[in-house]
Structure 1
């Protein structure tokens, strides 16, 4: 079994980690959502592979 890491595989894991962080620190939620949306948008445009 090999583990391959790509942004496609890491986004769901990142979403879970940031979701937990947002629950622990609610004021952090705005920053978390902004970073996630920017990263997902850049990935969706194909600027990051």
Structure 2
């Protein structure tokens, strides 16, 4: 039996080249704990100077 004829070249081996699928938003990740600045650490360590 002859292969069906199409109006455009078609190959079943081609992958999907259309627009990218909609992706889920990234999971929320808490920011890393911040280190105190020099001035903040100074007043914590030496509050009475």
TM class, shorter-length:
under 0.3
State which structure, 1 or 2, has the greater radius of gyration over its C-alpha atoms. Answer: 2
How does the TM-score come out when normalised to structure 2? 0.21
How does the TM-score come out when normalised to structure 1? 0.21
Of structures 1 and 2, the one scoring higher in RCO (CA 8 A, sep 6+) is 1
